[in-house]
C-alpha cells in the first residue's frame, strides 16, 4: 500500500502471528498497586503490551478506567511515561508527542495511546480519524470493555446489541443497534496496521504488539477487555469469556495490513453465541429469540469478515 504523505511508512513485515511463549519477557513493567478491579482485562492487557513493547514507550491516556488504574498523584503504576489527556484527545495528544520527539530528533520511542471504547468509538473518533488519515506515527490502543464503565456502565457505540447498561434498560430502552465496527472504520483509512486482540490469547496479543511496535505510521490494536462489574460476570471468568468471545466469533482475532490485507490470526472451532452470553448478567434478560437474533447477526458479520480474508492465509 503506497502512502505518499506524512511520516515514514514502513510496511509491516509478514511473520508468524503467534509469539513463542518462552520468548515472552519475564520482566514486569506494569507495577504493583494499580487500581484496576479484580479480573480487569485492561490490566492484563497493559501488562502484556508492555512486555511486548519494552520500556521505550510513552503513553497518552485519556479519560477512561486507566486514568484511575494508573494510580493517584504522585503515584503511577504503568511503569512508562504517562501523559493524562482530555477525553477526546488520545490521538491528537499522541500525535503531538510524536511531533515533539521528532522536532528534538528522538526517533526510538513507541508513542502509544491507551483509551477506552468511549474515548475511541464515541468522543475521540474525530481525532482518531484525523490521525489515521494523516498516518501519524503512533500506536492507538483501545481496550474495549463495551460501555462507559468508569462512570458506572452507560452504553457506548461499542456496546453489543441488547446488552444491559444503566442507559439501556432492557424492555424500556434496549440497545437495538449493533456494535460499531472499528476495524472497518480504521481500515477505510488504509492505516498501515490494524489488529484485534484479547487477553485469552496472550501469545497472539503479544505478537501483535511486537509487530505494531516495529511498524511505522498509524497503527491500532483493538482489545476486547472483559469487565466483571460492567458485564456482571464473575471475576474468575474474564479469560474464559474473552476466549468464548473469539470462539463464538463475536470478537474474531484478525490483523490487517494497509487496510486491505486481512487475515485471521486465530480460528478455533465455532461455539454457539449462547455459550458466550450465558455467564454475563448484562445478557441475562435475553429471550431465546433474542439470542437467535444475535447469533444471526454474528454469523452475518462473520461472512462479511470471511469475504475480506486473503485466500489461503487462514491459520
Three-state secondary-structure class, residue 99: helix
Distance separating alpha carbons of residues 273 and 240, to the nearest angstrom: 14
Distance separating alpha carbons of residues 70 and 43, to the nearest angstrom: 10
Nearer to another protein, 4 or 74 (CB): 74
Of positions 88, 146, 204, 257, contacts another protein by CB under 8 A: 88
* Binding of residue 60 to another protein (CB under 8 A): yes
* Binding of residue 185 to another protein (CB under 8 A): no
Report yes or no: 302 and 249 within 8 Å, Cβ to Cβ.
Answer: yes
Minimum gap (Å) between residue 81 Cβ and another protein: 4
* Binding of residue 94 to another protein (CB under 8 A): yes
Which of 85, 151, 75, 91 has the alpha carbon at shortest distance from 126?
A: 91
Minimum gap (Å) between residue 220 Cβ and another protein: 17
| 14 phi/psi in degrees, rounded to 5 | -65, 135
* Binding of residue 36 to another protein (CB under 8 A): no
* Binding of residue 250 to another protein (CB under 8 A): no
Report yes or no: 170 and 162 within 8 Å, Cβ to Cβ.
Answer: yes
* Binding of residue 173 to another protein (CB under 8 A): no
Distance separating alpha carbons of residues 180 and 121, to the nearest angstrom: 7
* Binding of residue 52 to another protein (CB under 8 A): no
Of positions 82, 114, 209, 283, contacts another protein by CB under 8 A: 82
Stretch of 80-88, 211-219, 234-242, 248-256 contacting another protein, by CB under 8 A: 80-88
* Binding of residue 96 to another protein (CB under 8 A): yes
Distance separating alpha carbons of residues 154 and 269, to the nearest angstrom: 33
Distance separating alpha carbons of residues 143 and 128, to the nearest angstrom: 14
Q: What is the DSSP letter of 121?
A: I
Region of residue 74 (left: phi > 0; alpha: psi -120 to 50; beta: else)? alpha
Minimum gap (Å) between residue 153 Cβ and another protein: 20
Max Cα-Cα span within the chain: 59
Minimum gap (Å) between residue 13 Cβ and another protein: 24
CA gyration radius, the chain: 18
Size of site (CB under 8 A) for another protein: 48
**Mask for 113-152, x = binds another protein (CB under 8 A):** -------------xx-xx--xx-x----------------
Minimum gap (Å) between residue 143 Cβ and another protein: 17
- Reported as half-sphere exposure (CB side, CA atoms, 13 A), residue 20 has a value of 3
Nearer to another protein, 124 or 183 (CB): 124
Q: Which residues bind another protein (CB under 8 A)?
A: 55-58, 60, 67-68, 70-76, 78-86, 88-89, 91-104, 106, 109, 126-127, 129-130, 133-134, 136
Amino acid at each position: 500500500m503506497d502512502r505518499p504523505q506524512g511520516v515514514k511508512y514502513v510496511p509491516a513485515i509478514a511473520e508468524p502471528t503467534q509469539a513463542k511463549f518462552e520468548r515472552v519477557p519475564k520482566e514486569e513493567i506494569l507495577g504493583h498497586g494499580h487500581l484496576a478491579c479484580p479480573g480487569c482485562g485492561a490490566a492484563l492487557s497493559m501488562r502484556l503490551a508492555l512486555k511486548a513493547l519494552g520500556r521505550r514507550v510513552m503513553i497518552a491516556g485519556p479519560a477512561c478506567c486507566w486514568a484511575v488504574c494508573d494510580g493517584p498523584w504522585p503515584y503511577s503504576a504503568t511503569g512508562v511515561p504517562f501523559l493524562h489527556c482530555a477525553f477526546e484527545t488520545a490521538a491528537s495528544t499522541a500525535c503531538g508527542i510524536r511531533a515533539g520527539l521528532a522536532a528534538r530528533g528522538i526517533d526510538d520511542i513507541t508513542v502509544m495511546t491507551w483509551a477506552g471504547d468511549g474515548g475511541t468509538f464515541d468522543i475521540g473518533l474525530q481525532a482518531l480519524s484525523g490521525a489515521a488519515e494523516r498516518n501519524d506515527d503512533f500506536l492507538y490502543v483501545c481496550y474495549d470493555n463495551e460501555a462507559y464503565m468508569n462512570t458506572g456502565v452507560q452504553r457506548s457505540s461499542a456496546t453489543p446489541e441488547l446488552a444491559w447498561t444503566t442507559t439501556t434498560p432492557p424492555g424500556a430502552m434496549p440497545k437495538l443497534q449493533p456494535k460499531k465496527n472499528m476495524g472497518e472504520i480504521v481500515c477505510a483509512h488504509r492505516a498501515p496496521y490494524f489488529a484485534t486482540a484479547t487477553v485469552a490469547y496472550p501469545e497472539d496479543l503479544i505478537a501483535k504488539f511486537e509487530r505494531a511496535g516495529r511498524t511505522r505510521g498509524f497503527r491500532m490494536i483493538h482489545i476486547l477487555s472483559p469487565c466483571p462489574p460492567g458485564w456482571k460476570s464473575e471475576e474468575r471468568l474474564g479469560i474464559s469469556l474473552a476466549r468464548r468471545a473469539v470462539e463464538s466469533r463475536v470478537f474474531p482475532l484478525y490483523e490487517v495490513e494497509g487496510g486491505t490485507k486481512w487475515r485471521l490470526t486465530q480460528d478455533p472451532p465455532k461455539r454457539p453465541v449462547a455459550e458466550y452470553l450465558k455467564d454475563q448478567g448484562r445478557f441475562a434478560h435475553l429471550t431465546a429469540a433474542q439470542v437467535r437474533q444475535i447469533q444471526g447477526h454474528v454469523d452475518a458479520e462473520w461472512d462479511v469478515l470471511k469475504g475480506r480474508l486473503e485466500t489461503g492465509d487462514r491459520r
